[in-house]
Structure 1
Amino acid sequence: MRIATYNINGLNARLPVLLRWLEKTQPDVACLQELKSPQERFPADALRELGYEAVWHGQKSWNGVAVLVRGSTPIEVQRGLPEDPDDTQSRYLEVDVGRIRVACLYLPNGNPAPGPKFDYKLRWMEQLIRHAQSLLASDKPVVMAGDFNVIPTARDVYKPERWVDDALFREETRAAFERLVAQGWTDAIRTLHPEAVIYTYFDYFRNAFQRHAGLRIDHLLLSPSLVPHLRAAAVDLDVRGWEKSSDHAPVWIELDWKNTASRRATLKTAPHSD
């Protein structure tokens, strides 16, 4: 079973890229972030033609998350974090896919920091931490996937000294993420590739992708019962290089689940240069 996360950075503007990626890689589950599209403009018919059913939480111009499932319909469980039902930003969606619960999230960026946006980011993270604990307590197999807007360690960013004051890398952000993972979650891609240089986001400016000057901010966290089933994880870096692509690359894991054959892949990396 292949589960992917992809910040599409404008769903309708990049629909050809999304459809091309889905057709090429055929993930069983795809979590999308930053739809930047109102609820009524979600391209459900185009996705259905490729065999995907979806649940989505849209928002005009900003944010937005969706979960696509190949060959079956996801069952919506939670829309928005339960502690803040009045939050107007569409950032969280939870569905059941068979026996697995999939949480798709788009954590706030938080810049400029310090300031109100950073305060909102930290509040949102605290709510996520509390809800994540309840997910673990349910004993249901869970994958939390999405754009966390968190650079966990200095290994996860090109030239970390340039990011010390950024909301993605500030001490408070990393400490909150560490507390989340310490509940019992497993950072899937780092677990399988502990020493590799792995980036999932590359700015459009300064030839960042060509220089492999990126960040690792897109994560898939696994609850304990899923960890023994983890077989592969990778970043589809080639997609980031496609014309009119998102500034993020898709990230995926593969689980040996329901006797699904593993399709192992070697993590793709690009030459590191200054």
Structure 2
Amino acid sequence: MKIATWNVNSAKARLPNITEWLTAAAPDVVLFQEIKCETAAFPAAAFVELGYEVHAVGQKAYNGVAILSRQPVTDLLTRLPGDEEEDPQARYVEGTIGGVRIASLYLPNGNPPGDGDSDKYRYKLRWMERLRLHAKGLLEAGAPVVLGGDYNVIPAPEDVYDPVGWRNDALFRQETRLKFQEILALGYTEAFRSLHPGRHPAYTFWDYQAGAWPRNNGLRIDHFLLSPQAADRLMGCEIDKAPRGKEKASDHTPVILEINA
């Protein structure tokens, strides 16, 4: 099973690039983040034409996630459990595909963090705690689990081009990385780094500003976390940089996971 995650930074604005890449890469499951449209406005027909079943969870102009699958998706969950009734942001969708529980998530950015007490940063940390609790419950259920998406977390210094300059950013603050490690400590494996422990640089995001792309000033913030049952099936995990070099590209690029289904 080939599973791709990609923060597309507007599904409608990037549609030609997205469909071109899907046709060439042919993933079985696709996880999108930042579709940036309401659910009804998501360009589902273009993906159905390519053979995908489509499940999008959107909101006007911001956020939004989706799962595309060549196999049926069952037991769909469209909000991260916890404070979902008080959290209107479209950041999570999860379903079962071929016996594997798969989620597309868009974790809050959290900037500016202030001294770690800004409303946006507190929301980020609360969301991460909700994710930890839900991830724990998924482990207890026993099925293979794949949690993919834009985590807005730089796990380690080797995952950012300038660790010193980013040390106080919400993506790299110590509290952020500790919350990420708490999820891993439940028993999850971070797929890319488990296979490529020494690969550097290896980035998934390059800002549009300050020549970040041509200078390779990037961040690795798009991740797959695998339960032990899924990690046992891990065959590969790679970053495809090519889409970031296209005209009208997203500032993120796809990450591709392969597991033995």
Contact 1:189 1:234 in 2 (8 A): yes
Q: Label 1:96 to 1:34 Cα distance change in 2 as closer, same or farther (>3 A).
A: same
Deviation at 1:44, TM superposition (A): 1.3
Gaps of 5+ in 1: 258-274
Question: Residue 167 of structure 2 aligns to a residue in which SS?
Answer: coil
Q: CA deviation at 1:76?
A: 4.2
**Residue in structure 2 matched with residue 221 of structure 1 by the alignment:** 225
Instruction: Report 1:1-274 matches (<5 A).
Output: 1-70=1-70, 72-86=71-85, 87-114=87-114, 115-197=118-200, 198-257=202-261
Partner of 1:263: none
Whether the 8 Å contact between 1:58 and 1:90 is mirrored in structure 2 is yes
Counterpart CA distance in 2 for 1:82 and 1:177 is 18
Q: Does the 8 Å contact 1:44/1:54 carry over to 2?
A: yes
The Cα shift of 1:82 comes to 1.4
Q: List structure 1 runs of 4+ shifted beyond 2 angstroms.
A: none
Aligned counterparts of 2:218 and 2:84: Cα–Cα separation in 1? 34
Mapped partners of 2:89, 2:75: distance in 1: 18
Per the alignment, in what secondary structure is the counterpart of residue 218 of structure 2?
coil
CA distance in 2, matches of 1:130, 1:227: 20
Q: Secondary structure at the match of 2:214?
A: coil
Alpha-carbon RMSD: 0.9
TM-score (norm 2): 0.96
Query: How many angstroms does 1:226 deviate by?
Result: 1.4
Q: Which runs of 5+ in 2 are unaligned?
A: none
Structure 1: distance between partners of 2:62 and 2:75: 21
Cα drift, residue 103 of structure 1: 1.1
Identity %: 50
SS at match of 2:246: coil
Report the TM-score, using the length of structure 1 for normalisation: 0.92
Measured in 1, the distance between the counterparts of 2:136 and 2:9 equals 29
1:73 Cα offset (Å) = 2.7
